[in-house]
Structure formats: C-alpha cells, structure tokens
Structure 1
C-alpha cells in the first residue's frame, strides 16, 4: 500500500509541467502568505498545484503553499529520499490506513505539571508515564481529573488549557 499526499503521487504530473519559481522571489512570496486573503491563497493553490485546494484551514494552506514555492524554486526531494520515507512509513504502520491516520501520543512529557486555578483554588496535576497524578491519586485521563475538581464533565485538555486533541479532526 502506498501513501498518497498532496506533495506526492497526486501532484507529480503537475510538477513536471509547472514553471520553476526564481529563487530570488521565494522570500517575498513566503512573507506575503501571512497577509494574503484566503481566496487569494486558494487561487495560488490552483496555480501552483494545478488542483482545487483541499477544504482545510488557512494554516494548512499557508504551510503547503510555502513548501510548494520552495519546491518549485529549489527542487523537491530526490526520488531515493521519497522511496526511503515511504519504506519507513510502511515499517511504522504496516500499510494500515487506520494506523496511518492516528496521531502519536499527544500527552505532555512525563514530569510536566499542569496548573489550573478553579474557584479560587490552585490545582496541580503531574504528568506521569502511566497517566496523571492529582492529589496523590493516579488518573488515566485529564477529563477524569477535571470531573473530580468540578463535579461535572469536562474535556480535560480544554479544562487545563491545552489545545484540543488533533485526533478528533
């Protein structure tokens, strides 16, 4: 099974026919991405990739366009590098699409202390290798700790001010 990404198989025919971007233009084009309106970013996508832009957020469009601009100016990855990355990916996920789409553990590093003030009381949670510790008790999830603190159901990552899990997307 092979991986399909926007920079790989789907774009390869377009890359050969795409005119190179002069290296002198790269920095200016990259800087302009941050201030360019989203419809204009989508138009750049059409011009640089030869396809309609995917329905992802602005940050995704900016990062992929930045890569594409540099790729067209300086060249992409060598075929040997792409083959090596493909082989490494196959080793990691065994060609299973469900495993490929899952993100690795996004828990903070063991030893990290999460501090949250709630109703005038400061609550400290320590991240452990096995989960979390709060008031000397082990917990498997931040949501369980948030419920212990508030008495109501909470998304633990939201309660402690962490970004929401990307696995939900």
Structure 2
C-alpha cells in the first residue's frame, strides 16, 4: 500500500491483505511490532490510524473526556475532575428516599455522593446498598434526564 493512495483506496486495500501483510503495514505505520494476530483488530486499528494521520485525531477536549470515561470504567480516578452528569443535582442537595419504611438521606458531593457517612461514586452503588439488588441510581432516587425541546 502506498502512502500517496487516496484514503478510501488505502482502507479498502486492508480488507484484501493477509495477516502477515497487515502486520507489515502495522510495522510501517506504528514503527512497532503488531500486538496480536486478530485480523479484525489489525484492520480496524490500521484503518483508524491511517485516517487519524491524514485528517487528524480527536481534539483535546474529546481526549480528556475519553480519559475520564476510562477512569470511571476502571474505577481509578486519577484526574481531579469527573464527568458531570446533567441529572446530578447541585452540590449540597439532599436526596431523600424511603425504602421498606426506612428513610435514607443522600448528600450530593462535588465528586460523588454521601450516604450514612460514607462516600460513594454513584447513586447506583447506594441504591444497591439500600435494596440489595441492582438499580439505576437515578431512577431509584427519582432523577430523570431533562427532556429537550418543550421544557
């Protein structure tokens, strides 16, 4: 495959390459050995990188958002800010929910929630602790995403 080929032609050429050819292309583009033998992985990552090199990658804000999402998924919050969910009430708000005759008060914090003196990252974790079953935390506490349009 030639670097001067139009991008659609370069992407189409990936489909007809053998795995060894894909690995060779990987070596050319990334200057490292290919990480595995998965044809689908090699094709998709090479296609992305070819386009990224030509058209540019994600902007700074998108990369930041992806990093924050990765932190939340992995459960390691290494950055100071979190992704703001539009359903979250203002910091300091108290949510009150009665469950099986017991009233539970949750306080909204800047970086999560507090219930019974313990910090939680999500309302779902609190709802699970209260009920013993999995719940969507926003639904359990009666918080719905605002509807767009005719508010």
Shorter-normalised TM-score: what interval?
Answer: 0.3 to 0.5
Question: Greater relative contact order (Cα 8 A, min sep 6): structure 1 or 2?
Answer: 1
So what's the TM-score if we normalise by structure 1? 0.41
- TM-score, normalising length from structure 2? 0.46
The structure carrying a bigger helix percent of its residues is: 1
Larger radius of gyration, structure 1 or 2?
A: 2
